[in-house]
Structures are given as C-alpha cells and as structure tokens.
Structure 1
Amino acid sequence: MKTVSNCVEDILITQPYLEEALSRNIINFSALAIELTEPISKMLKKPVKPGAIMMALRRYNPPVTLGNSIKMKKVIQNLGDITVRSNLTDFTIKNSDTIIDNHSKILNKINQETKLFYTFTRGIHESNIIISSILDDFTRECFKNETFLATQDGLSAISVNLPQDNSKIAGLYYQFFKRLAWEGIVLYEVISTTNEFTILVEEEFVDKAFSAIKKVKA
C-alpha cells in the first residue's frame, strides 16, 4: 500500500532540482508541503494534510549529494581542455539502404581536410551529421538522393575532455546539464564518446554556455 512517504520520494526523484534544494536545507518545508498536498492527494486518491507531508519531507533521506562526493570532486577537478568550434551545420537524414555509401564520400573529403569539424551518429530511423558549414553544399550534394528530415546551421560545439575514469562516476553529466539548465541554455544536440563530451548550441548561446561549463570546472 502506497504511503505519503512513498509519494514524496516519487515526486522528489523526478525533480532533482527540488531534491537538491531539500538536501541543502534551502527550502521551506511548510510551503513545499502545501504545494504537494493536491498532487499527493490525487496519487493516494484521498485527502492528505500538509502536516503529514511535511513530516515525510523532514524524514526523507536523500542520497549523498553527487557534487560533494570525493570521486565527483576529483573528476571535476581533472576535467581537461574546453574547446569551442563555430560555423557548424547539423543535418538529420532518414536512414536508407544507400546512406552509408553516400556517407563514405564525406569521409573521403574529411580525410583530406583534417581541420574540419565532423561527427556522425546513426540511430534506428535516422542519422545525424554535424559538419563545418564550409562543406554544406558538398554534404547536400552527397546526400541529394536521401531524405533530409532537418537542417540547422549557425551552430557551435563546446567539447570537454573527461578523465579516463569518468564512466564510473554516476551523475557526472548531470552536473553539466544542471548548470546549463539554470543558465537557461537550450541544447540543440549532445554528443559523447568515452572520454569526451560535446554540446551543440546556437551561436547566440555559445558564450553563455562556455561560461556555464567553466563554472562546473571551477
């Protein structure tokens, strides 16, 4: 049988910002209890008093704050260089039997001009190419027989080199997403490899996004 405490936990887990504020004791328990009265009453299908919710909030034992863990601090302190690349275009193309053959033409071009920015991701139904805008026309020509689902130019990529043990740290990416969300930065695309994390933003956000990521590293 579900209890008030179960409902409080369910709500806090789905709202990490709220959970973090609660764990740092910077939130008004009474006001939050009143705010949660209606949703928890609906979850339990019966009236619930704010007092019961406030008691559950005070008893809630959040996990250790990720940002304060020893491992997390070590990884954050050892973040590598932050690199910015501008003048990029993002192409989203519907998968087909010919897309790989056409893609090989892009690879041959990239091999000849190594300073260009390029990434390729293949999903179940669509593929994504992010490439230096100087190759826009060439890319369109290579895929002229394919179906373009979306195209966006005027983008910038911000890449962060991560320590080699980053894959063993839970919540590392959350530190970046949290800071970017707080700054009101819209992410157009997210790309990652084992030891590198890249976000793609519209050029109007690049300075703000770069500053936000540096704050994570600081």
Structure 2
Amino acid sequence: MITIPEIVEKIIKKSSFLEEGLSKKIINLSALSRIIKPEIEKELYKKVENGAIIMALKRLSSRLDHRNSINKIFINAPDLIVRSNLIEYTLANSQSLIPKHQKLLEIINRQKEFFSTITEGVFETTLIVSLELESSIKKIYKDEKVIFKVNNLSSITIRLPKENIDLSGVYYFILKPLAWEEINILEVVSTTHEITLIFGEKDIDRAFLNLKNLFNK
C-alpha cells in the first residue's frame, strides 16, 4: 500500500523547482501541504491531515540536499575552458557520412588548436567546430543534407572528477543555476569525465560567471 511520504516524494520530484526550494528550506511547508493535499487524498482515496503531510515534507527536505555530497567531489574548483568563434552544422544521417568525418578529422589533427565535436544520433549528426573549419565542412559535406546551421557560438568545458560517475545529480548541479538564470544552453556534449556546454555568444559571459560562482562557493 502506498504511503503519504511516498506520494509526497513523487509530487515534489516532478518539479525541479519545488525540489530545489524544499532542499534549501525556502518553502513554507504548511502552505505547500495545503496545495498538494488534494492530490494526496485523491491517490489514497481518503482524507489526510495536514500534519502528516508536513512531517513527510520535513523528512524529505533533509534528504534532498545533494549539494554537500557533490561539493565533496569538487574539492577544488574545476578549470573552465572557454572557446569562442564556433559554428554548428546538423546533417541528416547517411551511409556516406563516416568517410567524410574521417577527412574532417585528418584536417583537425594537423591543426591541434581547432575545437571539434561530432555527435551522431539516430537520425542526424551534429558537428560543432571552430569557425576556421567552415570552408572545409562546406567542401567535405557538400552533398549532404544540412538540417540546421548556426554561427556565433561559444563553449565552456568542465573537467569532471572521476567520482562523478558514481554520484547522481552532478549534471543537475551544473545545469540548474543556468536554468534559474534563464541562460540558454544550445547543446550539451559529454564524455565520461568532461561536459561541454554550447551557448550563443551573447550568453557566454553570464554563463561563465554563473559557473565560476557555483564552483567557488
């Protein structure tokens, strides 16, 4: 049989903003209990007391603050590597793409300072590269279908500690403050120990300051 604490947790975790507010103890529990009470009663098919809901919220609040756990793996603030003058091409997937990627990588390997990522999805492939490579891309991929193209991009790469793979919420910890500040992330590219966030150039300064403040707290 489902319990009040289980329903409360399910309701709170449907909203990242409620979860965040509860973890920081900035939400009035009495007011919140009255708001979610009808949903709880509907699921339980019976009336419940506000006191029982408030108690469940208090217990959940003590378990929600992942910040201390995540801060432990970021003992030192990670380096934030910023790159600008990037472009993005999204191409429809085709059997001819792979040899063309190889041609592009050969050019990139001769010029180590170039930034590049190639992400292949089920139906499309996205290239994010330094602006200097645009002429090469136009030449190499001239017969491919371009779905989307955008200029004036910048990126921030964050080196993640090895412990990140065993701890839930690391990406949320990084992305959450950007969402709260309404900073638009155009793309997210990751490897096991790196995450690269792609922004429009108009947002890069705010994004950098936001992340710097996050890790220096």
Q: How many pairs does the alignment contain?
A: 216
- Residues 50-89 of structure 1 mapped to structure 2, 5 A cutoff: 53-60=53-60, 62-63=62-63, 65-69=65-69, 72-89=70-87
Contact 1:94 1:148 in 2 (8 A): yes
Structure 2 residue aligned with 1:33: 33
Deviation at 1:68, TM superposition (A): 1.2
Task: Give the SS at the match of 2:63.
Answer: coil
Structure 2 residue aligned with 1:123: 121
Structure 2 residue aligned with 1:6: 6
Deviation at 1:162, TM superposition (A): 2.2
Structure-2 separation of matches of 1:43 and 1:89 = 49
RMSD value over aligned CA atoms? 2.3
Contact 1:30 1:50 in 2 (8 A): yes
For residues 145-185 of structure 1, give each alpha carbon's deviation from its aligned partner in whole angstroms, at most 9, with x where no partner exists: 11112111111000112223332332222211111112211
**Structure 1: gaps spanning 5 or more residues:** none
* Amino acid aligned to 1:197: I
For residues 81-101 of structure 1, give each alpha carbon's deviation from its aligned partner in whole angstroms, at most 9, with x where no partner exists: 211101111111111110011
Task: Give the SS at the match of 2:196.
Answer: strand
Deviation at 1:60, TM superposition (A): 3.5
Structure-2 separation of matches of 1:103 and 1:22 = 47
User: What is the TM-score with the length of structure 1 in the denominator?
Assistant: 0.87
Task: Give the SS at the match of 1:187.
Answer: coil
Structure-2 separation of matches of 1:150 and 1:184 = 23
Task: Give the SS at the match of 1:185.
Answer: coil
Q: 1:153 to 1:36 in 2, by over 3 A?
A: same
Structure-2 separation of matches of 1:36 and 1:92 = 43
Task: Give the SS at the match of 1:9.
Answer: helix
**Structure 2: gaps spanning 5 or more residues:** none
Runs of 4+ displaced beyond 6 Å: 45-49
Deviation at 1:198, TM superposition (A): 0.8
Task: Tell me which of 190, 207, 210 is aligned to 1:209.
Answer: 207
* Amino acid aligned to 1:124: V
Task: Give the SS at the match of 1:25.
Answer: coil
Contact 1:78 1:163 in 2 (8 A): no
- Residues 22-171 of structure 1 mapped to structure 2, 5 A cutoff: 22-40=22-40, 43=43, 53-60=53-60, 62-63=62-63, 65-69=65-69, 72-171=70-169
Deviation at 1:38, TM superposition (A): 4.5
